[in-house]
Amino acid sequence: MKIKRFKVDKYSIKLYANDRKGSRTRWGDKVIEIYSDERHVASAVFARKGTTAPEPYFSEGKIYYFAQADQYTTVIDLLRNDNSVYIVWEPVYDPKEPNDGNAYFYVEGKVIQQN
């Protein structure tokens, strides 16, 4: 599998009121839905404090980025303050886990030289 990279054009935020969904406990209480070229390409889910986020994965053309709660502010700052933000899926070869990989946000920027 090749590296998948999507430029973030739009995003929406979900903040859940509690940690219950029916009879099960919700481990993530903040979700950022990511869109590129009018397509929903990723979900960034942030674990509630005191819980552990599962490993990210890529399925049916969509990145599932899971992170600890303390990364939420950093991701929101990137989305709000930078023009060229991408979400990336980078496969990692592991014979024991055929769909293993890393999900991350990537920012392109320019260095401005001051005289």
Structural domain for 98, as ranges: 4-108
Alpha-carbon distance of 63 to 104, in angstroms, equals 9
Largest CA distance in the chain: 62
Let me know if residue 115 belongs to a domain. no
Let me know if residue 52 belongs to a domain. yes
Alpha-carbon distance of 28 to 44, in angstroms, equals 10
Alpha-carbon distance of 7 to 23, in angstroms, equals 37
Tell me the helix, strand and coil percentages in the chain, rounded to 5. 10, 50, 40
* Partners of 64 in beta bridges: 43, 57
Let me know if residue 114 belongs to a domain. no
For the entire predicted model, the pTM comes to 0.85
Please report the pLDDT score of residue 87 as a whole number: 97
Please report the pLDDT score of residue 27 as a whole number: 73
Please report the pLDDT score of residue 7 as a whole number: 96
Let me know if residue 113 belongs to a domain. no
Please report the pLDDT score of residue 25 as a whole number: 66
State yes or no: pLDDT of 19 exceeds 70: no
Segment holding 81, helix H or strand E? helix 72-81
Residues 26-83 pLDDT 10s: 678 899 999 999 999 999 999 888 888 889 999 999 999 999 989 999 999 999 987 8
The total number of structural domains that make up the chain: 1
Mean pLDDT of the 10-28 span: 78
Q: Are 10 and 35 in contact (CB under 8 A)?
A: yes
